[in-house]
Amino acid sequence: MKRRAFITLLCGAAGMWPLAARAQPSKLPTVGFLGPFSMSIQSESTAAFVQRMREHGWIEKRTILIEYRWAEGLSQRIAEITAEFVRLKVDVIVTAGTEPVIALKQATSVIPIVFAAAGDPVSTGLVASLARPGGNVTGLSNQSADIASKRLELLREVVPNLHRLAIMANIGSPIGILEMGQVQAAARTLGLEVVPAEIRRVDDIAPAIEALKGRAEALYVVTEPLVNSNRIRLNTLALDARLPTIHGYRDYVEAGGLMSYGANFADLWRRAGDLVDKILHGTKPGDIPVEQPTKFELFVNLKAAKALELTIPEAFLLRADKVIE
């Protein structure tokens, strides 16, 4: 009787196993979030991305998991995070910048990659074309190199008698080399003499700015992770050297730079949420066209202008999206 009861119980349990298996919660889709800078620097952009994902119904820890990692502007950290995401087999990776995407492409041709911003994704080889990216990568271009001439025109409006322009770029970065070439071409068109300030590491920044004293009347700073992570120090040194600076993003102006003009970074990250949503619903990244920025912003720092003894025209300030006083 005991034996019969045991067999009955065992058969009943066996019948329950498939039912129990079906009752187990399925694995939530996972997004690998590779922040090229620090969490504090990217707080606004991160919030914009997460909010857009919520609007699409992707709620953290309920319908999706987001694994956040911060590279702090370091190439080594980018490599480590890339390897970790591949090992975790996340469903999609979202990041920004040329260097992180190149590292990700080299590590995986399977996991979809979305870049929230990249200077020139075609010229740097991130995608085959804007209309048909191909492969496992898509995203948004920030057109940073394309609007170099616009930045120089703005700079000439606030720096009287600008003749010699210094250009600081990390030549160890693909976008650094590309944008430096774009700025040089734009400067020559405007009749400006160019003074290159090439760097490869943090320790190169101070000597490069010191060498510019008396050789340039303004400094164009090419945006990329190494420079971004050291923007406060860079702007402090530039002010000491009496060099007005022009940047691609407002973060630099909030960190003491004179002015910036570029795509609205938070808006790009917000729209990256749209692309991630499409991929999570089954669209192949290579079939999603790379999008262009639609919002640009001009920031001006009057504190920096005062320190440089520059007078910003009132008409110029009225065009600015934000003036820091």
- If asked whether residues 197 and 320 sit together in one domain, one would say yes
Q: How far apart, in Å, are the Cα atoms of 63 and each of 22, 49, 69?
A: 18, 15, 20
Burial (CB count <10 Å: 0-12, 13-18, 19+), residue 24: exposed
- If asked whether residues 159 and 291 sit together in one domain, one would say no
Averaged over 246-275, what is the pLDDT? 95
- If asked whether residues 52 and 115 sit together in one domain, one would say yes
- If asked whether residues 73 and 162 sit together in one domain, one would say no
Averaged over 147-172, what is the pLDDT? 94
Whether 322 contacts 264, CB under 8 Å: no
- If asked whether residues 78 and 163 sit together in one domain, one would say no
Percent of the chain exceeding pLDDT 70 equals 91
In this structure, what are the phi and psi dihedrals at residue 80, rounded to the nearest 5 degrees?
Answer: -65, -45
Answer yes or no: is 2 within a domain.
Answer: no
- If asked whether residues 110 and 172 sit together in one domain, one would say no
Binned at pLDDT 50, 70 and 90, residue 145 comes out as: low
Answer yes or no: is 3 within a domain.
Answer: no
- Tell me, what DSSP letter sits at residue 60? B
CATH number for position 61: 3.40.50.2300
Q: How many CB atoms lie within 10 A of CB 265?
A: 24
Answer yes or no: is 16 within a domain.
Answer: no
- If asked whether residues 161 and 130 sit together in one domain, one would say no
Answer yes or no: is 8 within a domain.
Answer: no
For residue 164, which amino acid is it?
Answer: R
Distance CA 15, CA 149 (A): 72
User: Domain of 161?
Assistant: 148-263+297-324
Distance CA 139, CA 119 (A): 11
- If asked whether residues 269 and 175 sit together in one domain, one would say no
Distance CA 208, CA 199 (A): 7
Binned at pLDDT 50, 70 and 90, residue 23 comes out as: very low
Minimal CA–CA distance to 221: which of 297, 302, 151? 151
- If asked whether residues 245 and 270 sit together in one domain, one would say no
Please give the pLDDT value at position 229: 84
Answer yes or no: is 240 within a domain.
Answer: yes
pTM: 0.84
| Stretch among 56-60, 71-75, 134-138 having the lowest mean pLDDT | 71-75
Model pLDDT for residues 59-91, shown as the tens digit of each residue: 999 999 999 999 988 889 999 999 999 999 999
Query: Strands 193-199 and 137-141: what pairing?
Result: unpaired
236: pLDDT strictly greater than 60: yes
Answer yes or no: is 11 within a domain.
Answer: no
Answer yes or no: is 23 within a domain.
Answer: no
- If asked whether residues 96 and 42 sit together in one domain, one would say yes
Whether 275 contacts 114, CB under 8 Å: yes
Q: CB-hemisphere CA count at 13 Å for 176?
A: 20
Total domains in the chain come to 2
Helix (H, G, I), strand (E, B) or coil at 33: strand
In sequence order, the β-bridge partners of residue 115 are 95, 139
- If asked whether residues 137 and 273 sit together in one domain, one would say yes
- Start-to-end Cα distance in the chain: 89
